[in-house]
Structure 1
């Protein structure tokens, strides 16, 4: 359960989150809809603990972000400028990340890479990937530790039509496994097919 309560964030004298209150329940997919600059990505960043709020609070499973915890404990994140290191293979990226929490085994990593349609034995560096492959790699990074909270910013960008269907099936499977997913997308099909509830945002507010 995530409770976003009266959060405000101002950047360069512009209010990007404007007294926003939302609740996200476990085991559901939520969609965030709105134009560029509506506040969707900033809300994802706030829930991920990547920015500090001017006021208000975000509570995750009873723990207040930046008071009781610095970041959500089990978080999968795909957000703009996602840091899959370009000079390593995808498998090397995930093996390095796995050393932090020591949750994912090499077998889990290989299975996740295959699951998103990539090859764990591929020796190419991530910088050599096509745009669609890089997006699949970012999705693999978000999912490989089987997190309870998954935040996805435009996850189907640059992926072909069949790949988009494949990714949607993966997200639905994560929901069925008990994850809470918050998805920001300009693709109305992503939201209509996947989301249990859609929040429309404009200028940092719900509309």
Structure 2
């Protein structure tokens, strides 16, 4: 079932072409990999899909259960694009609690469960400003996962993770797929792409080509 459709999309920034007439169909329950060199537009594509930026030409259609005429940001999307900003003087749990209160969809128990799932200690009093890069990455993953979102948009989810954490995350993503979630991800590690993705697309010379 088609969940997201990118149709004839063009995008430029300050005269710099990013995309020329790209097309992409995302089906429910699959893992998609988007690859390409730094600066090729992977993050821009994710921002277009999420509605953070608009195409100069073409259209992006999101399934009706996720987007309708009264909202511009698709619901049930868990997102990591760039590095999220956090409150440095709060703990990891405190940051996630603040985010969870925006929609009030989950309780403290679910936050704790998700932190444990990604390898963070919910009761730790360490402030986020003292977090390592790997811990910040796990916190980003926790915020994307904690509300049990049906679509995950993950830009470099393995960044700064150690070997054990990488293995754990790969297993998590495959389990999410079994649950029927849809995942669109990037990774500089080809092994991540090979092990996880059902379909892979490369950004090459402003186009999107299936591999």
Kindly indicate whether the alpha-carbon contact (under 8 Å) linking 1:86 and 1:127 is maintained by their aligned counterparts in 2.
yes
Task: Provide structure 2 residue ranges, at least 5 long, that are not aligned to the other structure.
Answer: none
Q: 1:17–1:68: structure 2 CA closer, same or farther, 3 Å change rule?
A: farther
Match for residue 187 of structure 1? 189
Superposition RMSD in Å: 1.7
The alpha carbon displacement at 1:114 in A equals 0.3
Task: State how far apart, in whole Å, the 2-side matches of 1:15 and 1:65 are.
Answer: 28
Task: State how far apart, in whole Å, the 2-side matches of 1:194 and 1:84 are.
Answer: 29
Kindly indicate whether the alpha-carbon contact (under 8 Å) linking 1:95 and 1:109 is maintained by their aligned counterparts in 2.
yes
Q: Secondary structure at the match of 1:190?
A: helix
The alpha carbon displacement at 1:68 in A equals 5.3
Match for residue 62 of structure 1? 64
The alpha carbon displacement at 1:17 in A equals 2.1
Q: 1:17–1:63: structure 2 CA closer, same or farther, 3 Å change rule?
A: farther
Match for residue 93 of structure 2? 91
Pick the aligned partner of 2:161 from 159, 167, 170: 159
Match for residue 9 of structure 1? 11
The count of aligned residue pairs is: 207
Match for residue 132 of structure 1? 134
Match for residue 197 of structure 1? 199
Q: TM-score, normalised by structure 1?
A: 0.94
The alpha carbon displacement at 1:94 in A equals 1.2
Q: Secondary structure at the match of 1:35?
A: coil
Match for residue 144 of structure 1? 146
* Larger RCO, structure (CA 8 Å, separation 6 or more): 1
Kindly indicate whether the alpha-carbon contact (under 8 Å) linking 1:17 and 1:42 is maintained by their aligned counterparts in 2.
no
Q: 1:151–1:30: structure 2 CA closer, same or farther, 3 Å change rule?
A: same
Structure 1 residue ranges, 4+ long, deviating more than 6 angstroms after superposition: 63-66
The alpha carbon displacement at 1:113 in A equals 0.2
The alpha carbon displacement at 1:60 in A equals 1.1
Task: State how far apart, in whole Å, the 2-side matches of 1:38 and 1:202 are.
Answer: 7
Task: Provide structure 1 residue ranges, at least 5 long, that are not aligned to the other structure.
Answer: none
The alpha carbon displacement at 1:97 in A equals 1.1
Kindly indicate whether the alpha-carbon contact (under 8 Å) linking 1:135 and 1:159 is maintained by their aligned counterparts in 2.
yes
C-alpha deviations, 1:101-157, integer Å up to 9, x for none?
111111000000000011000111111111111111111111000101101111111
Q: TM-score, normalised by structure 2?
A: 0.93
Task: State how far apart, in whole Å, the 2-side matches of 1:155 and 1:53 are.
Answer: 25
